Amino acid sequence: MLNMAVNLDSVSKRFGEIRAVNALSLEIAEGTVYGLLGPNGSGKSTTMKLIMGLLKPDSGRITVCGMDPQKEPLNVKRVIGYVPETPRLYEFLTGMEYLDFIAAIHGIPTEQYMPKVNRFLKAFELSGHENKMIGGYSNGMKQKTAIIGALLGDPELLVLDEPLGGLDSKSARIMKDLLHTIAEEGVTTIFSTHVLEIAEAICDKICILYKGNLLTEGTAEELKRLSDTPDSTLEEAFLKLTNSSDVREIVEALVY
Ligand SMILES: Nc1ncnc2c1ncn2[C@@H]1O[C@H](COP(=O)(O)OP(=O)(O)O)[C@@H](O)[C@H]1O
Ligand SMILES: [Mg+2]
């Protein structure tokens, strides 16, 4: 039996009339890079916030690393590294000061986190920029800094909401390798994107969300086979999801 990092059992969340997440059931095994794929408004961010315990479900059950996020809000946040869609960093801190601050929140001693910080700075090609003010960083650099921060607390679960927004193709490739390296150490990642090819390139398993409903779930291989079959509804869904022109370079870097 595989251990489940995250379990959603018929979870629903509405905002007024909008059914953001509709009777969603998911099982995410430990050590998986799991993709939430869907166009804007399909409920990806809401699902992530429910898993984080930042939103309370209207109905259904959520289990994260054996805990209910509503009953153990702090313990759940302790085991998750979360990077929201537009991470808010402190513009007047340097990257290093920000990471020192995150380490302090987690109570991690310097000698423990510095080797890790240096490893990730190097991996993301941020070395040499860590003593510059975050306000001067590009969006990609901010996002990479936020991801390093999320990794510092040794999370069991990494929740990355559309993390390739500000990243270039090279960083995307680095991130793919990094996620699979930590997956081998047992870390689970939930990764959202609205681009089919990115999900296929990065994720072991993918669920397709559309208007809060789960359309289908499977491995990248299974979805590829499905997308070849001329099933009209699925075909339409894929077309809506794939807006490749602006991400062509990133996809190429991920695939080859
Ligand atoms: N705080 C909120 N208040 C009202 N509506 C919201 C709120 N958050 C999300 N929604 C709505 O819920 C739906 C799903 O949103 P979201 O989870 O952000 O989708 P995605 O991340 O896939 O783009 C959308 O229709 C969105 O407008
Ligand atoms: Mg979103």
Q: Would the CB of 242 count as within 6 Å of ligand 1? A: no
pLDDT of residue 246: 62
pLDDT of residue 245: 55
Q: Which atom of ligand 1 is nearest to the CA of 209?
A: 22
| Cβ atoms 210, 28 nearer than 8 A | no
Q: Quote the ligand 1 centre to 211 CA distance (angstroms).
A: 10
**Cα–Cα distance between 64 and 66 in angstroms, integer?**
5
**Cα–Cα distance between 43 and 22 in angstroms, integer?**
9
pLDDT of residue 242: 60
Q: Which atom of ligand 1 is nearest to the CA of 85?
A: 21
pTM of the model: 0.91
**Cα–Cα distance between 203 and 18 in angstroms, integer?**
28
pLDDT of residue 1: 61
- Closest C-alpha residue for ligand 1 atom 4: 15
pLDDT of residue 43: 96
- Closest C-alpha residue for ligand 1 atom 7: 15
The SS3 assignment for 75 reads: helix
- Closest C-alpha residue for ligand 1 atom 3: 15
Q: Would the CB of 165 count as within 6 Å of ligand 1? A: no
Q: Would the CB of 49 count as within 6 Å of ligand 1? A: no
Q: Which atom of ligand 1 is nearest to the CA of 212?
A: 14
**Cα–Cα distance between 171 and 178 in angstroms, integer?**
10
Superfamily name and number for 4-255? P-loop containing nucleotide triphosphate hydrolases (3.40.50.300)
Which residues of the chain fall short of a pLDDT of 50? none
| Cβ atoms 63, 6 nearer than 8 A | yes
Q: Would the CB of 194 count as within 6 Å of ligand 1? A: no
**Cα–Cα distance between 239 and 125 in angstroms, integer?**
34
pLDDT of residue 155: 94
Mutate to test the pocket of ligand 1, among 11, 13, 14, 15 (most ligand atoms within 8 A of CB): 15
pLDDT of residue 233: 61
pLDDT of residue 239: 62
At 34-43, the pLDDT tens digits run 999 988 899 9
Q: Would the CB of 17 count as within 6 Å of ligand 1? A: no
Q: Which helix (H) or strand (E) holds 61?
A: strand 59-64
Give the residue from 162, 153, 227 showing the smallest Cα distance to 187: 153
pLDDT of residue 201: 87
Q: Which atom of ligand 1 is nearest to the CA of 16?
A: 4
Give the residue from 99, 10, 85 showing the smallest Cα distance to 48: 85
